[in-house]
Structure 1
Amino acid sequence: MGDKEVLKYKDIVLRASDLDTLRGPCFLNDQIIAFYFSYLLSSSKSDDILFVEPSISVCLANCQDDKFIEEFAQSCIMSSKRLVLFTVNDNDDFDGGGGNHWSILVYDRTKNSFLHYDSMEGVNSFHAMKLYDAIKEYMGPGGQVSRPHISSYSLKKQKNKKKNISYVSRPLGRAEPESVAATAPAVSPTFMECKTPQQSNGYDCGLYVLAIARAICQWCSDELNESDVISAIEKRVDDSVELKMRSELLEIIQDLITDSVASI
């Protein structure tokens, strides 16, 4: 019967093969991550957080078309959000599949800083820096003024690839267009590698990405009980995600499937 559709949630379609990535000890695909980002957004009490889908994060990191990045930033008013979450993948070719590792890059406007969380320390540093370098001009004003810090991993020269992008996919969240040029930051955002629990295998990286995204949403919803987002992540994310996160996601998805059947 092929790869059966099992759930349509917002604009995300999950198929049987997507759920298989949760059941077995294997690498999560971008569809599962996009689903959970959408789920977190719908349950969040904050309007000041933006999730960028994995496929778009890869495009932003790898495309050579500045107009595409500018139009994307305008479409979601990226320069006005308190927190912006991007996935990082070690895939250099956004025209095709691939990639072997996920990490997460978080822009915190109050610090005017990009925070990189990698559950295999150093593996995605180059790719995170490439994404940071592509989008840092479009984040807009705000945050403390500080000397930009570039991580010890120097950004290598990118391949001179020309990509023609004919569309701008909207991020997860509601926004109206505005001029990015008018809100260019006076000081370039900083980049920081952050302490992250380290995975014990080669396939649970996506679980840490989801757990960190969840911790950020919980922090926002709890009215900033912790002093900052870094403290919130340190408090809420540990290696227990490897034992619990897959079953928790499958339960969420199954409940949504049950609800959608009952509503028919």
Structure 2
Amino acid sequence: MDEEVLTYNGVVLKRSDLDLLSGPHYLNDCIIQFYFSYLTSQYDDRTLLVSPTISFWLANSQNSEADFRDFEESHQLSKKQVVMFTVNDNEDTSQSDGGKHWSLLVYYRKSNTFVHYDSFGGFNSLVARKLYRAVKNCVAAPATQAPTPAGTSSLVTHISSKMGHKYYSKHLRRIINYPKKNMLVSFVIGYIFSKKYLRRFINYHPVKVCYALQKYIISNNGDDEETIDRDDDDDPWFREENVMPQQTNWYDCGLYMMAIARVICEWYYDEERAEQEQQNCFLKDDRFPNITKHLDNSLEYTMRSEMLRFIQHHIELKTN
């Protein structure tokens, strides 16, 4: 019989769940929810780790307005500074415990940004964007528009207003401030001389860049701007985190997702570490943790046994 071995903060673990930690197996919802429950107990209510079941339900909800309102009110989302969702590629809505890959979608209220952490080369990118579109309005705060520095070209002004972020203004000026007779040539020259800045800028949110450029070109040619799909300036950003450790097998994605969640919790509550991260993070800002500084592939060989010992310790405490 599949006996119950531990009840922890409302999460019930069975013998079959522990068996998944004993060998090279894909982790299920229950193990992940157990670990999220443990992390939640270690920190205050400024962070929210949404269980796999609820994340899947939100991504596939058919009655979105009412469901999201209940979710927002019951979890007091306006008070949360960091919200973490599990992402799963399960396409069968009748089976919540399915799929073959886990990743993590995290909302940072300080920068009004969703960041997707995928340990398998962006395998879950489309699924993460689906979840992002489903939850962005109930989780996120309106985007803050940053002032554009004086002396910026009209194209830079337009894109900066659409992007709404101060960290890119100097890189935009450096890339785009070339003769304006041929915009394509200007961008090619800018790319040659400022390759790393342009790559980082476009990688942050390519959709918003494309919309901004399209609207600028159309409006300056006298065409009807309404022919282009409008981008909501109040939408939070979506970013794929490309600089992070990648799994070396097909089954440890759940371990990476849980370990990344732990790093984010530690980073958020460690102000000293956050200040140190400022020198190493993406574009030298402290809005997001530097995952590679705290994680590597060694977790594939250590984390399963550590979790088994942790669970066994709590089983013994319960027995005693």
Give the TM-score, by structure 1 length.
0.81
CA contact (8 A) 1:89 1:99 kept: yes
Alpha carbons of 1:144 and 1:94: their partners in 2 closer, same or farther (altered >3 Å)?
A: same
**Aligned residue identity for 1:92:** E
User: What residue is the counterpart of 2:48 in the other structure?
Assistant: 50
Unaligned runs of 5+ in 1: 153-184
**Aligned partners of 1:21 and 1:224: how far apart in 2?**
37
**Aligned residue identity for 1:207:** L
Alpha carbons of 1:224 and 1:129: their partners in 2 closer, same or farther (altered >3 Å)?
A: farther
Alpha carbons of 1:232 and 1:143: their partners in 2 closer, same or farther (altered >3 Å)?
A: farther
Which structure's CA Rg is the greater one? 2
CA contact (8 A) 2:110 2:287 kept: no
**Aligned partners of 1:47 and 1:143: how far apart in 2?**
23
Deviation for aligned residue 1:223: 2.9
Percent identity, aligned pairs only?
A: 47
SS at match of 2:315: helix
CA contact (8 A) 1:89 1:127 kept: yes
The root-mean-square deviation of aligned C-alpha atoms, in Å, is: 2.0
Which aligned segments of 4 or more residues in structure 1 are displaced greater than 4 angstroms?
148-152
CA contact (8 A) 1:80 1:140 kept: no
Structure with greater proportional helix content = 2
Written as runs of structure 1 = structure 2, the 5 A alignment for 1:63-82 is 63-66=61-64, 67-82=66-81
Unaligned runs of 5+ in 2: 146-161, 165-203, 208-231, 279-285
User: What residue is the counterpart of 2:163 in the other structure?
Assistant: 147
Which protein has greater RCO, CA pairs closer than 8 Å, 6+ apart? 1
**Aligned partners of 1:144 and 1:112: how far apart in 2?**
8
Residue-by-residue CA offset, 1:108-147 (whole Å, 9 max, x unaligned): 0111000000011121001000000001011242664462
Aligned with 1:197 (options 236, 245, 252): 245
User: What residue is the counterpart of 1:212 in the other structure?
Assistant: 260
CA contact (8 A) 1:116 1:193 kept: yes
Residue-by-residue CA offset, 1:79-116 (whole Å, 9 max, x unaligned): 32100000000012332142000000000011100000
1:134 aligns with 2:150: no
**Aligned residue identity for 2:103:** S
Aligned with 1:188 (options 228, 232, 235): 235
User: What residue is the counterpart of 1:14 in the other structure?
Assistant: 13
User: What residue is the counterpart of 1:120 in the other structure?
Assistant: 120
User: What residue is the counterpart of 2:107 in the other structure?
Assistant: 107
Give the TM-score, by structure 2 length.
0.67
**Aligned partners of 1:13 and 1:213: how far apart in 2?**
21
User: What residue is the counterpart of 2:293 in the other structure?
Assistant: 235
SS at match of 1:104: strand
**Aligned partners of 1:143 and 1:236: how far apart in 2?**
29
**Aligned partners of 1:137 and 1:83: how far apart in 2?**
15
